[in-house]
Amino acid sequence: MVREVFVATNKKPGSAQRQKGRTPGPRPASGQSRKNPAVDAWIEGLDHPLKPLMLKVRRVILASDRRVTESVKWSTPTYSYNGDIASFIPQAKSFVSLMFHRGSEIPGRHPRLEGDARLARTMRFASAEELKKHTPDLQKVIRAWCEFKSK
Query: Which residues is 144 bridged to in the sheet?
Result: none
Reduced to 3 states (helix: H, G, I; strand: E, B; else coil), residue 131 is: helix
Q: Which is more confidently placed, 3 or 120?
A: 120
- Does the pTM surpass 0.85? The reply is no
Residue 17: inside a domain, yes or no? no
Query: Has residue 48 been placed in a domain?
Result: yes
Residue-level pLDDT at 34: 77
Q: Is residue 128 part of a domain?
A: yes
Evaluated on CA atoms 136, 29, 86, 95, the torsion sign reads positive
- Encode pLDDT of 21-74 as tens digits: 444 554 443 334 578 999 999 999 999 999 999 999 999 999 999 999 999 999
Within-domain flag for 131: yes
Q: What is the CATH number of the domain that holds 114?
A: 3.90.1150.200
Residue 21 lies in a domain: no
Residue 134 inside a domain? The answer is yes
Give the pLDDT confidence score for residue 151 in this predicted structure.
84
57 part of a folded domain: yes
CA atoms within 13 A on the CB side of 111: 2
Domain count, the chain: 1
Is-contact 131 56, C-beta < 8 A? yes
| Residue 7 counted as domain residue | no
CA distance 141 to 67: 14
* 86: Cα separation from own chain's centroid: 7
